Amino acid sequence: MKTIFKRPEALAETPTHYCPGCTHGVAHRLIAEVLDELGLRERTVGIVPVGCSVLAFNYFNFDCQEASHGRAPAVATGIKRGRPDLIVFTYQGDGDLASIGMAEIVHAANRGEKFTAVFINNAVYGMTGGQMAPTTMPGQVTTTCPAGRDVEQVGYPIRMCELLASLRTPGFVERVAVHQPKYIIKAKRALKKAFQYQADNRCFSFVECLSTCPTNWGLTPLKAVQWVDETMIPYYPVKNFKSPETEGEGDAD
Amino acid sequence: MAKVLMKGNEAIGEAGIRARGLCYFCYPITPQSEVAEYLSKRMPEAGGVFLQGESEVAVSNMLYGAAGAGVRCWTSSSGPGISLMMEALAYIAAAELPVVIVNIVRCGPGLGGILPSQSDYRQAVKGGGHGDYQCLVYAPASVQEAVDLMPLAFDRAERYRNPVLIIGDGMIGQMMEPVEFKEHKFPPLPPKDWATTGCKGRKPNVVNSLYLDPYAEEKLNLRMVAKYEKMKKEEVRCEEYNTDKPYQALLVAYGTTARICRTAIHKLGEEGIHVALLRPITLFPFPRQRIYELAQKVDWVMSVEMSTGQMVEDVELSVRCEKPVHFFGRTGGVVPAPEEVVEAVKKQLGAGKGGQA
Amino acid sequence: MQTEVVFAGFGGQGVMLAGKILAETGMGLGKEVVWLPSYGPEMRGGTANCTVIIADEPIASPIVVHQRDSVVMNRPSLEKFVPKMRAQGYAIVNTSLIQVKSERDDITVVDVPANKIAIAAGTGKAANMVMLGAYVGATGIVPFDALLEQAKHVFQKKPKSIPVNVKCLKEGYKLGQAKGK
Q: Is there a contact between C34 and B3 if contact means CB atoms under 8 Å apart?
A: no
CATH of the domain at B257: 3.40.50.920
- List the single residue in C35, C40, C63 with the smallest CB-CB distance to B335: C63
For residue B57, list chain A residues with Cβ-Cβ distance below 8 A: 71, 74, 103-104
What's the confidence (pLDDT) of residue C40?
53
Q: Is there a contact between C63 and B5 if contact means CB atoms under 8 Å apart?
A: no
Q: Which residues pair with A124 in a beta bridge?
A: none
Chains linked to A by 3 or more Cβ pairs within 8 Å: B
For residue A78, list chain B residues with Cβ-Cβ distance below 8 A: 23, 25, 61-69, 71, 73
Q: Which of residues 18-47 of B touch A (CB under 8 A)?
A: 23, 25
User: Residues of chain B whose pLDDT is less than 50?
Assistant: 354-357
Is B173 found in the same domain as B304?
no
Q: Is B73 helix (H, G, I), strand (E, B) or coil?
A: strand
ipTM score of complex: 0.92
- What is d(CA C118, CA C96) in angstroms, rounded to the nearest whole number? 10
Q: Is there a contact between A42 and B198 if contact means CB atoms under 8 Å apart?
A: yes
β-strands B301-305, B325-329: how paired? Answer: parallel
What's the confidence (pLDDT) of residue B356?
40
Give yes or no for a cis peptide into B31 (omega within 30° of 0).
yes
Our answer on whether A and C touch (3+ beta-carbon pairs < 8 Å) is: no
Q: Comparing C-alpha atoms, which of C140, A74, A207, C137 is closest to residue B58?
A: A74
- A48 touches A4 (CB < 8 A): no
Q: Does A78 touch chain B (CB under 8 A)?
A: yes
Residues 6+ apart with CB under 8 A from B317: B288
Is B323 found in the same domain as B264?
yes
Q: Distance (Å) from the C-alpha of residue B262 to the closest C-alpha of chain C? A: 6
- List the single residue in A57, A74, A79 with the smallest CB-CB distance to B69: A79
Is B312 found in the same domain as B195?
no
Q: Does A14 touch chain B (CB under 8 A)?
A: no
Residues 6+ apart with CB under 8 A from B62: A74, A75, A77, A78, A81, B25, B51, B53, B73
Q: Does A104 touch chain B (CB under 8 A)?
A: yes
Segment C42-80, tens digit of pLDDT:
444 567 899 999 999 999 999 898 999 999 999 999 999
Average pLDDT for consecutive 10-residue bins of chain A (253 residues)?
92 95 97 98 97 96 97 98 98 97 98 98 95 97 96 97 97 98 98 98 98 96 98 98 77 47
Is B285 found in the same domain as B182?
no
Q: Distance (Å) from the C-alpha of residue B176 to the closest C-alpha of chain C? A: 5
Residues 6+ apart with CB under 8 A from B6: B14, B143, B176, B177, B178, B179
- What is d(CA A86, CA A91) in angstroms, rounded to the nearest whole number? 16
What's the confidence (pLDDT) of residue C59?
96
In this structure, the dihedral spanned by the alpha carbons of residues A217, A219, A224 and A230, taken in order and rounded to 10 degrees, is -80
Is B261 found in the same domain as B228?
no
For residue B55, list chain A residues with Cβ-Cβ distance below 8 A: 103
What's the confidence (pLDDT) of residue B41?
96
- B120 touches B94 (CB < 8 A): no
In DSSP notation, A46-62 reads EEE-SSGGGGGGGTBSS
- What is d(CA B27, CA B75) in angstroms, rounded to the nearest whole number? 9
Residues 6+ apart with CB under 8 A from A129: A143, A216
* Closest residue, chain A, to B210 (C-alpha): A66
- List the single residue in C33, C59, C62 with the smallest CB-CB distance to B5: C33
- B9 touches B34 (CB < 8 A): yes
- What is d(CA B163, CA B90) in angstroms, rounded to the nearest whole number? 9
Letter for the amino acid at B153? A
Is B200 found in the same domain as B52?
yes
What's the confidence (pLDDT) of residue C47?
77
Inter-CA distances, B198 with A83, B66, B194, Å: 10, 13, 11
Residues 6+ apart with CB under 8 A from A54: A48, A66, A127, B210
For residue B336, list chain C residues with Cβ-Cβ distance below 8 A: 63
- What is d(CA A40, CA A113) in angstroms, rounded to the nearest whole number? 18
- B172 touches B8 (CB < 8 A): yes
Q: Does A71 touch chain B (CB under 8 A)?
A: yes
β-strands C32-37, B249-252: how paired? Answer: unpaired
- What is d(CA C157, CA C151) in angstroms, rounded to the nearest whole number? 11
What's the confidence (pLDDT) of residue C46?
66
Q: Is B149 helix (H, G, I), strand (E, B) or coil?
A: helix
For residue C36, list chain B residues with Cβ-Cβ distance below 8 A: 171, 174-176
Q: Where are the alpha helices (DSSP H) in chain B?
A: 8-18, 33-45, 56-68, 79-94, 121-125, 143-160, 170-174, 214-234, 255-270, 288-295, 312-318, 338-353
Residues 6+ apart with CB under 8 A from B333: B106, B107, B112, B113, B114, B115, B116, B117, B170
Q: Does C55 touch chain B (CB under 8 A)?
A: no
Q: Is there a contact between B198 and A54 if contact means CB atoms under 8 Å apart?
A: no
For residue A54, list chain B residues with Cβ-Cβ distance below 8 A: 210
Q: Distance (Å) from the C-alpha of residue A212 to the closest C-alpha of chain B? A: 25
What's the confidence (pLDDT) of residue B1?
64
Write down the domain spans for chain C. Answer: 2-179
Q: Distance (Å) from the C-alpha of residue C129 to the closest C-alpha of chain B? A: 19
Segment A199-246, tens digit of pLDDT:
999 999 999 999 999 999 999 999 999 999 999 999 999 999 999 987
Inter-CA distances, A89 with A118, A177, B180, B188, B208, Å: 7, 18, 42, 33, 16
Residue that finishes a domain, picked among B206, B234, B262: B234
Is B323 found in the same domain as B197?
no
Residues 6+ apart with CB under 8 A from C27: B3, B5, B178, C33
Q: Is there a contact between B259 and C37 if contact means CB atoms under 8 Å apart?
A: no
Q: Does A163 touch chain B (CB under 8 A)?
A: no
The topology under which CATH files domain A24-242 is: Rossmann fold (3.40.50)
Q: Which residues pair with A120 in a beta bridge?
A: A93, A209
Q: Comparing C-alpha atoms, which of B332, B356, B245, B260 is closest to residue B302?
A: B260
Q: Is there a contact between B23 and A67 if contact means CB atoms under 8 Å apart?
A: no
Give the whole-number percent of chain C exceeding pLDDT 90. Answer: 88
- What is d(CA B226, CA B132) in angstroms, rounded to the nearest whole number? 12
- A12 touches A89 (CB < 8 A): no
Q: Does B87 touch chain A (CB under 8 A)?
A: yes
What's the confidence (pLDDT) of residue B352?
65
Segment B196-235, tens digit of pLDDT:
999 999 999 999 999 999 999 999 999 999 999 999 999 9
For residue B266, list chain C residues with Cβ-Cβ distance below 8 A: 60
Question: Into how many domains does chain B fold?
Answer: 2
Q: Is there a contact between A65 and B91 if contact means CB atoms under 8 Å apart?
A: no
Q: Does B243 touch chain A (CB under 8 A)?
A: no
Inter-CA distances, A82 with A221, B82, B228, C11, Å: 42, 22, 28, 40
- Residue of C20, C61, C66, C153 to mutate, interface with B, max B Cβ within 10 Å: C61
Q: Does C68 touch chain B (CB under 8 A)?
A: no
Angle separating helix axes A72-82 and B56-68, nearest 10 degrees: 50
Q: Does A54 touch chain B (CB under 8 A)?
A: yes
Letter for the amino acid at A187? A
Q: Where are the alpha helices (DSSP H) in B161-213?
A: 170-174
Q: Is there a contact between B338 and C36 if contact means CB atoms under 8 Å apart?
A: no
Q: Is B356 helix (H, G, I), strand (E, B) or coil?
A: coil
- What is d(CA B15, CA B7) in angstroms, rounded to the nearest whole number? 12
Q: Where are the alpha helices (DSSP H) in chain A?
A: 24-38, 72-82, 94-95, 102-111, 151-154, 160-165, 181-199, 214-217, 221-227, 233-235
Q: Is there a contact between B65 and A65 if contact means CB atoms under 8 Å apart?
A: yes
What's the confidence (pLDDT) of residue A1?
83
The topology under which CATH files domain C2-179 is: Pyruvate-ferredoxin Oxidoreductase; domain 3 (3.40.920)
What's the confidence (pLDDT) of residue A253?
44
**Chain B residues within 8 Å of chain C (Cβ atoms):** 3, 5, 30-31, 113-115, 170-171, 174-178, 256, 259-260, 262-264, 266, 335-339
Q: Comparing C-alpha atoms, which of A188, A172, A179, A184 is closest to residue A246?
A: A172
User: How many distinct helices (H) and strands (E) make up chain A?
Assistant: 10, 7
Q: Does C34 touch chain B (CB under 8 A)?
A: yes
What's the confidence (pLDDT) of residue C11?
83
Full domain range(s) for residue B127: 4-234
Average pLDDT over residues C162-178: 97
* Closest residue, chain B, to C22 (C-alpha): B5
Q: Distance (Å) from the C-alpha of residue A144 to the closest C-alpha of chain B? A: 25
- What is d(CA B60, CA A77) in angstroms, rounded to the nearest whole number? 11
Segment C132-145, tens digit of pLDDT:
999 999 999 999 99
Q: Which residue has the higher pLDDT, B272 or C41?
A: B272
Q: Count other Cβ atoms within 10 Å, centred on residue A196.
A: 17
What's the confidence (pLDDT) of residue C39?
65
Q: Is A71 helix (H, G, I), strand (E, B) or coil?
A: coil
Write down the domain spans for chain A. Answer: 24-242
Average pLDDT over residues C101-117: 96
Q: Count other Cβ atoms within 10 Å, centred on residue B74.
A: 29
